[in-house]
Structures are given as C-alpha cells and as structure tokens.
Structure 1
Amino acid sequence: MTYRTSLTAFALALAGLVAHPSPAGAGADAGPRASATPGPGSGAPSVQWTSCPAYSDEVIRSLRVTEEQIPAFRALMKRLECGTVSVPLNHRDPGGRKIDIAVTRLAATDETRRLGAIAVLPGGPGNSGYLDPVLRVALRNEQMAKANERYDIIGFDPRGVGYSTKVACPVSPVGPQEPGTLTEEAARKIYDAQVAANQECGRSDPAFLGQLTTESVAQDLDLVRTALGERTLNLLGFSWGTYLGMVYRSRFPEHTGRAFLDSVAPPWTRLDEHMKDSAEAAERDFGRMAAWLARRDATYGLGATARQVREEVAKLVRAYDKNPKIYTDVRRPVDGSAVADLAKRNSTEWTRAGRALAELRTATGTTAPPTVKELLGAPMTGTPVPGAPETLNMTMNLAVACNEDGSRVGFDTAWRDYRRLVKRHPATGRSWGVGGMCAGWPLPVQQVALKRGGGSLVLAGHLYEFMSVYDWTLQTRRAVGGTVYTVADDVHVSTTRVPGCAADVVRYFETGRIGAGCGGGAVPS
C-alpha cells in the first residue's frame, strides 16, 4: 500500500558520538527503565548516541513549521536525543551485513509518572519518522503535546530512508505524458518504460532492495526497542505505518502495548485492489463535494443539484481531454486528468477546488486563472533546501510496495482495469493512471501473515477518505482484532491534527479507554 506524497531530498550526516544521559526512574506503570547501552560482549543491540542535526531557519520552515513555532521547535530539538542502532540487513542472517537505523527520543517531561514509550510509525512506505516526536507530537497542538508528559516519544527513519542506511536507483522512468485522452498506445509505452526501470532498479542491489519489507522494518523496530531498554512499545501509526503496526503486533505481541493506528491500511498488499477501492471511494466522496457545491450554485455556477454538478464536472473532464490547455504559469498541462484531480480534493479544499472548476468553465488566454494556478501551478517537488532532511525516499517506497505486491498485473489487465475505472467514475477516474507500478519487478513477492491479538488496539478509520478506505478499517478489525474509532471526515491521517480527536488519542494512551469516534476536520461553511 503506497500513499505517495511530495519528496524533499537531502540527507545530512550525523555528527560525532556523545555520551547518553542516564534516564531517571520510570513511573509505576512502566517500571524501571532498563539501561539503553548494554555493556561490551552482551550481544544485545545498543544505541550509539550522537549530536542531533542542526537546522537553519530556512530548513525548519521547509518542514512546515510556522514562523511563530520556530523558537519552540529549537527548544524541542535541544531536548531531542539522536542516535543509531545497528541491525542485520537480513534478519535471517543475524551475523551478516549490518545497517544503521536512525533513532530519536523525546523523553517524558513527567518522569516520576512515566508510563512508557510511544513509537511513531511513519507513512509511505518511505516516509521519514526521524523528527516525528517533535513535528507529529510535541509541536502538533496542545492536546498532542500532552502525550510527551508521561511517555517518551520515539521516532525513527525506517531502513532505506533519511539518516538510516539506504540505496538509490531510478524510480521515475516516465517523462511528461502527452496531454489529453490517454490512448492504449501511449499507455503501453508508459507501462513498458516502467517495466524497464523496475528491472534496472531491482537488479541494481538485490541484496539490499530485497530486504526492504514491512516485516524487516518491524524486526528493526523490535531491536530498537531492546536497545532503548523498553520491555514494550506503544504504537502510534499513520497510513503505511498502520500496516507496520499490524505486522509488529503480529510478530511481537509480547512487546506491544497500546496501539493507535490512524487511516488504516488494508490487511493485504495487492496494489490493483488498492487502486480499485481507492478510486471507488474517491468518486463517492466527490458526491459529497457535488452536493456541497450545488447548495452554493450562486457562487460556483456548477449546477443547482448534485447530479447537475456531477454532469458538469464530467463534461469538463471530457472537454479538457479533447482540447488540453497549456498555460505558461502552470507546471502541468490542464487536461481531463487535471480536472479530475480537482474533483478528488478533500473537504479542506472544496472552496478552492470549486473556484478552480468554475474558472475552467470559461478560461481563456495563455495564463491560468488564479485558483487553477494556485492549486496546479506549484512544482510537484520543490528544490530541496540545503541541509533539509529527506522526508520521502522513493526507492524505499517502490521496493517495499513491489516486494509485497501480490498482483504485478500485465499490460492487458492494467489497461482493461483503467478503462473500466474511467467509465465507472466519470468525475474522478481520469486522475488515476494505468496500474503497473510493480510491473517487471524482478525480486520475489514477500508477504507476512497477520495474526489476531488480544492486546489493546484502536483502528481509526475516516468515513469518507479514499487514501485509506473506511472498509479497510473493518477488514483489518476482522483480520487482527481491535476497536474501530470512526472519524467523520475525508482527510487522511487528520486525527492528531484535530484538537478534539487528538485529546481522545492522548487519553487512550493514558487510560486505555477510547470512545466511538470524533468529528474530524470540519466541512467548510
């Protein structure tokens, strides 16, 4: 399951070793915290503590930290502990080649009442989690910051990402596509290019790339747990991190405490089914957007009923595929796929997406209308700020997805599925490409058997989102157990960003109790 995000690429080397500060006694529920640095000859993994990276204000801003938050970010970085843990590249060969996993810890501020440690499991696959203790917890909002009072917050870069050991190979073989209707001939060229690139990548370092799996990351995480001296880890997972949480809990139930998984991945790893389910959910959510726009027809002029809005947007998709427009100030041609992309926006962007769709009905000239430019004009990947940490590694993204993909469809199947998808979803279907991300991947499929567990587990599913379809939450509960926490929005991993929902998350980790759900992000008025 891949949830692609934008890439900020630049890795900063870790500085020299420093002594690790001795932790104070743990709270009664957690028990005494064991030494995180075993003595020589113990055979147990240890943390090699280092100084944390130093970031300029420009880098900090690139991490989506506001100007007002910069002093707080710097204060938190002074508290953050940074280090590496050596783990086997192949866990079936523990005496073989070793790689480093970059780890961070933000110690609990109320050490006398400490409950344990929460490991933040990042999305992707391929997202960095190195700064998650700061960005996803302590600096997120007042409610989430409270989690750091009684818990150490643990972050890490999974193998293949950021400050951890990684490799790189070409993963973007396809140049800009010709704008307009996607023909079978053009689709086959794209598919064949993907096959060639996947074969080149997979054969470039099969010993490393073949060990980029969710199960390997889970095994790394358990060695991190040991190195930190924790008897158990509590888990806070996001997107792909929810699947990582399922795998960790299945492999190491005795070491798993409370687990809260937000925007739950399915308990299976077929990319063809993933796209099919996501496409259906995206078109359903557009129905909500269409009804919202219809109630504001005086503003947007797209139709007075949801059906009229649907027909108008589908008409725009066809019109711009037939006659694409290339604006001098927009990074991509505006064809049917761009229109469908606007229709696929979640409710936090309905206001702007509605304006952009309205502008496209009457657009003329060589420059884009203002809202179209605002939403489609920004580069897909901005120039990395010098010194910025890597936030997404695309080689790891590709390798994990393809090592675990149980479909790897051929072109004829991919083309048939794409044509069916576009026909069934006239407003949003055009935004999906032809499946085949893992076509030609030369390494064997590796999948892990998930197990039901009796420990505490909360599965946060968002009713209307398409990146993590709500039904996947129900499928996951049937596969591994747990309690469903329903978020009534369409916004991916929004739970910890919404103060009321975040308060529920923190209360869960403190008490083990959780309600039925929360409202999530509000629909614009």
Structure 2
Amino acid sequence: MTYRTSLTALALALAGLVAHPPAAGATASAGASSVRWKACPDYSDEVIRGMGVAEDKVAAFHSLMKRLECGTVSVPLNHREPGGRKIDIAVTRLAATDKAKRLGAVAVLPGGPGNSGYLDPVLRTALRNEQMAGLNERYDIIGFDPRGVGYSTKVACPMSPNGPQEPGTLTEEAARKTYDAQVAANEKCGRSDPAFLGQLTTENVARDLDLVRTALGERSLNLLGFSWGTYLGMVYRSVFPGHTGRAFLDSVAPPWTRIDEHAKGAAEAAERNFGRMAAWLASRDEIYGLGATARQVREEVAKLVRAYDKTPKIYTDLQRPIDGSAVADLARRNSTEWVRAGKALAELRTATGTTAPPTVKEVLGAPMMGTPVPGAPEILNMTMNLAVACNEDSSRADFDSAWRAYQQLVKRHPATGRAWGVPVMCAGWPLPVQQATLKRGSGSLVLAGHLYEFMSAYDWTLQTRRAIGGTVYTVADDVHVSTTRVPKCAADVVRYFETGRIGRGCAGSPLPS
C-alpha cells in the first residue's frame, strides 16, 4: 500500500455516446447495470506531460485516447442494500487489437488505497513499453476509478490537520499534539458522511468490480494488481472465485490490514535495504566520502541523523526543514535513487550557508507541489486512502502504545527509522472495523514479490502465499511495482496471461552503475 500526496481533481465534462457490444458469447446477468458510455476526457499536452508521459510519447497518448472507451457503471453504495442509494464507478476499456485471437479482459487494479486507475489501460499497459503493449493484442484492458476516487462518486474530508511540525528530535509532547490532532481530524472526517465513508472498503470495491464485469458482458476477469491493488485482487478472488481468471499481483500486500504491523514490517525492510545501499556507497567512497565499508557508512549516516535532529537547518530555498527525519528519508531510498541520495548525504556532511546544497534541494525539494495543471485528473484521493485504511485497521493504537512503538523503531533502525512517524493514522477513527475474509482458491495466481523493497516487504509475499496459495515470482530488486516497467520482466507478465505459465522470477531494475 502506498501513501502519497494527491493532486487536486478538476471536473471534466463528458458528452456523447460510444457503443461497444459485449464480448462474443458473453451474457449479462438479468437486471444488471449496463455501462453508460460517454466521450473520454480531452487532456492538454501540458496535462499529459504532468502525468509522467515523455515528450516523445505524447502523440502516442493522444492516439490511444482515441481508442479508449470511457463510461460509468451504477452500483449500490451498500451492497447489502442493492435497492438503496446508487453511486457511479468510472470505467475505461482498451479493446483487444486482435479480435480473432481475443482471450478475454484484464482488469488493472490500482494501488493506494485511493489511486486512480482510469487511465491505466493507456499508462500501465499500452504506453508503458513494447512488451506490455503486447498484452493489448489479445486482451481488452479494463481500467477504473474505485469508489471514492477520481471520476467515480466521492466525498472529501479536509486533510493535513497538524500543520508543519517543529524540526528536530521528535519529543513525546510534540508527538502527543500530533496524536490529539489526528484523533480530532479523524473523528470530524468519519462523522462528516458516515453513510458513504463507512462503505469505503476493499470488499466493496471488489463487489463494484464484479458488477463492472457483468456490465461489460465478461464471464470472468483476469487481474493485474499493483500494491494495494494486490490486496484488492486477493479479496476479489476470495469473494468471486468463479469469476476470476489469471491473476498477477505485483508488490504484494500482506494478507492482513493492521497499520501498526504494516509500519513495523516496512521499517525493518527499509533498514535491511539500507545495508545494500551502504555497501554500494562504500564501494564508491572516492565519490561520496561516507566510508570505505558498509559499517562505516551506516555509522556515518546514523551520526548525521542525530546531528541534524540536534541542530536542524532551515534553508531559504526549501519549504522542508532538514532534520534527522530528512536524513533518514534519504537513507531509505530505493536503488534507482542511490546516486542522488548518496550525493545529498555527502553534501549534508559539510553543508554551510543559508541555501540548500544542490542535490539536497533537487531530492528533498522535488515533492513540493504547486497548483495542479487545469484539467489534470486526480491521481490519489486522500479521503478514500484514509477511510479504507482505517475502516480495515483493527490496531488504532492509543498514544502510549504508538509512542512506544515509535521509540523502538528509531532505536532498532538508526539510519532509516527516524523517517517514520508515530503510527497514529487511524487513531480516533469513529467507524467500525470491517475486514474481508481471504480464502484459498484453485485458480491461477502469481505473487510477484520484490526481494529488497520496503513498501511491500518480501516477507508479506510469503505470508500471502501461505494464506491463499499461489506461485511466488521473485523480483531481485528493491523497486516498488517495477515488474511491468522492466522489459524482460514485463515479457514474463504478458507470457503468463497468454499461456498461464510463469518462471521463478526476474532481475528487476538494475543497480546504478
């Protein structure tokens, strides 16, 4: 599961009608909702580039949008009350290009919770690389915005209840203020629209997806899940085993939903992976000067964490203060960022002056976002992220427990632990806990675990296999959901959906040279 800053969504007018018949031989259930097809949004080149599309692929994006079909499916807000209030789920479809050899439909399950999947048929498959584009030859690619996200029905709670924290060592007094503010914000949010927020669960998203399947006229859906989308895939497969085809789940979530255990497992994995980073930096001591052995690098970075917590620095050209949490943030970066993170750590050893060193500014200043480009689609809905996580979190720790957990985390992980805050995300959430029941199934399931990553710790992949079965596909990198980005790995993914066969794994993203 991932937790990131969202872009503000701006409404886009949809008009027109696009007809598309159900898949050959498929029949819709009696009384099932159909897809209300509409014109797809028209994005400017500026918006497209803002989505991460390279300049040389902007024209291809426009071309794919002409093929993409967009619509909505009406579903019950409460699936236990099918005759009650209805909400809309935004759906997209990129039809298979080789209709004579069509094998079915692959639904792309986005991460988050709260990420948009509306444009995933374009961004995650057809436009990603040559290998993933091949998946669209024999499969329709289905994208959707889960309830509470993007173009689907949603609500909004005010976020960021605390304001900026004082830089430096996190004291118990400051942590308690954060905890109390989080409790107040969660209570206010949860009670603002409990009828809607209480229905934001993974199982309800899975039930929505099955109604999308019916509306599309598909007997079954194949699943391609990323991050939280892997948990959604587990739940869909458990609730609708007869409607699930092949499933490939990348960066596997654990088969449980406790926020405290999630933070603990991710922190342990991050510190372990820093050992790899430390060895890499040590082998380049003439460049970074952080130590000639991994142990020396570890000690130097832990020393920097303590030093910047004791004496934080406020740079005039950075909105973020540089304290121990910022140093630890650099230490937990994945291998694609080791070059820049290493340079930033080296700069912080000798930094002087009132402006940030160049790489520090580049790395730690980059996440600050201004006003989104008009017409940009929502990337992540933080209200949905909060509601799903907290509706399913049975820990909801009291302050004393959360503070002890944080202190242990910092003590056990001297290089990266300070990057994690006190685990109070769901403290005071007023709505009842709702957890899905995962079941073993006999259908085809591949669990792609990344050996060194922390956002989805590799051990969670093994736990999930023990809980629900499946085949483990090991990716020997530390990069979250990288499988479809690496051509050799992506070729395995496409081959799996075409043949049902999968190897033992792939190398994943290479280490920087």
Interval of TM-score (by shorter of Structure 1 and Structure 2): over 0.9
Does the residue aligned with 2:75 lie in a helix, a strand or coil? Answer: strand
Within 5 Å, which residues of 2 pair with 1:104-115? 104-115=92-103
Q: What is the CA-CA distance between 1:117 and the residue it aligns to?
A: 0.1
The 8 Å contact of residues 96 and 139 in structure 2, kept in 1 or not, is answered as yes
Q: Distance in 2 between matches of 1:11 and 1:455?
A: 40
Q: Distance in 1 between matches of 2:365 and 2:100?
A: 51
**Cα deviation 1:415-457 (Å, max 9, x = unaligned):** 0000010000000000000011000000000001100000000
- Identify the residue that residue 348 of structure 2 maps to in structure 1: 360
Amino acid paired to 2:481: V
Does the residue aligned with 1:319 lie in a helix, a strand or coil? Answer: helix
Q: What is the CA-CA distance between 1:21 and the residue it aligns to?
A: 3.1
Does the residue aligned with 1:208 lie in a helix, a strand or coil? Answer: helix
The 8 Å contact of residues 331 and 376 in structure 1, kept in 2 or not, is answered as no
**Cα deviation 1:299-342 (Å, max 9, x = unaligned):** 10000000000000000000000000001111200000000000
Does the residue aligned with 1:282 lie in a helix, a strand or coil? Answer: helix
The 8 Å contact of residues 331 and 379 in structure 1, kept in 2 or not, is answered as no
More deviation in 383-392 or 240-249? 383-392
- Identify the residue that residue 92 of structure 1 maps to in structure 2: 80
Q: Distance in 1 between matches of 2:26 and 2:88?
A: 22
Within 5 Å, which residues of 2 pair with 1:263-274? 263-274=251-262
Amino acid paired to 1:56: S
- Identify the residue that residue 34 of structure 1 maps to in structure 2: 26
The answer to whether 1:22 aligns with 2:21 is yes
Within 5 Å, which residues of 2 pair with 1:110-129? 110-129=98-117
Does the residue aligned with 1:524 lie in a helix, a strand or coil? Answer: coil
The answer to whether 1:246 aligns with 2:227 is no
TM-score normalized by the length of structure 1: 0.96
**Cα deviation 1:257-304 (Å, max 9, x = unaligned):** 000000000000000000000000000000000000011111100000
- Identify the residue that residue 436 of structure 1 maps to in structure 2: 424
1:333 to 305, 312, 321: 321
The 8 Å contact of residues 344 and 360 in structure 2, kept in 1 or not, is answered as yes
Q: Distance in 2 between matches of 1:11 and 1:104?
A: 18
- Identify the residue that residue 78 of structure 1 maps to in structure 2: 66
The 8 Å contact of residues 293 and 354 in structure 1, kept in 2 or not, is answered as yes
**Cα deviation 1:195-235 (Å, max 9, x = unaligned):** 00000000000000000000000000000000000000000
Q: Distance in 2 between matches of 1:436 and 1:508?
A: 40
Does the residue aligned with 2:159 lie in a helix, a strand or coil? Answer: coil
Does the residue aligned with 2:245 lie in a helix, a strand or coil? Answer: strand
The answer to whether 1:226 aligns with 2:242 is no
The answer to whether 1:283 aligns with 2:271 is yes
Does the residue aligned with 1:331 lie in a helix, a strand or coil? Answer: coil
The 8 Å contact of residues 210 and 443 in structure 1, kept in 2 or not, is answered as yes
Amino acid paired to 1:86: S
Q: What is the CA-CA distance between 1:34 and the residue it aligns to?
A: 2.9
Q: Distance in 2 between matches of 1:445 and 1:176?
A: 30
- Identify the residue that residue 10 of structure 2 maps to in structure 1: 11
TM-score normalized by the length of structure 2: 0.99
1:510 to 486, 491, 498: 498
- Identify the residue that residue 420 of structure 1 maps to in structure 2: 408
Within 5 Å, which residues of 2 pair with 1:119-518? 119-518=107-506
Query: How many residues of Structure 1 are paired with residues of Structure 2 in the alignment?
Result: 513
Q: What is the CA-CA distance between 1:70 and the residue it aligns to?
A: 0.5
The 8 Å contact of residues 167 and 312 in structure 2, kept in 1 or not, is answered as yes
Q: Distance in 2 between matches of 1:215 and 1:244?
A: 7
Amino acid paired to 1:490: D
Structure 1: any 5+ residue segments left out of the alignment? 27-31
Does the residue aligned with 1:401 lie in a helix, a strand or coil? Answer: helix
Q: Distance in 2 between matches of 1:493 and 1:502?
A: 11
Amino acid paired to 1:423: K
The 8 Å contact of residues 85 and 103 in structure 1, kept in 2 or not, is answered as yes
The 8 Å contact of residues 124 and 239 in structure 1, kept in 2 or not, is answered as yes
Amino acid paired to 2:26: A
The 8 Å contact of residues 75 and 87 in structure 2, kept in 1 or not, is answered as yes
Q: Distance in 2 between matches of 1:11 and 1:452?
A: 41
Q: What is the CA-CA distance between 1:14 and the residue it aligns to?
A: 4.3
Identity %, equivalent residues: 81
- Identify the residue that residue 29 of structure 1 maps to in structure 2: none
Does the residue aligned with 2:219 lie in a helix, a strand or coil? Answer: coil
The 8 Å contact of residues 10 and 374 in structure 2, kept in 1 or not, is answered as no
Q: Distance in 2 between matches of 1:297 and 1:474?
A: 36
Q: Distance in 2 between matches of 1:494 and 1:33?
A: 35
Q: Distance in 2 between matches of 1:66 and 1:230?
A: 34
Q: Distance in 1 between matches of 2:103 and 2:20?
A: 19
Q: Distance in 1 between matches of 2:145 and 2:163?
A: 30
Q: Distance in 2 between matches of 1:455 and 1:380?
A: 44
The 8 Å contact of residues 12 and 375 in structure 2, kept in 1 or not, is answered as no
**CA RMSD between the two structures:** 1.0
Q: What is the CA-CA distance between 1:35 and the residue it aligns to?
A: 6.1
The 8 Å contact of residues 330 and 378 in structure 1, kept in 2 or not, is answered as no
The answer to whether 1:52 aligns with 2:40 is yes
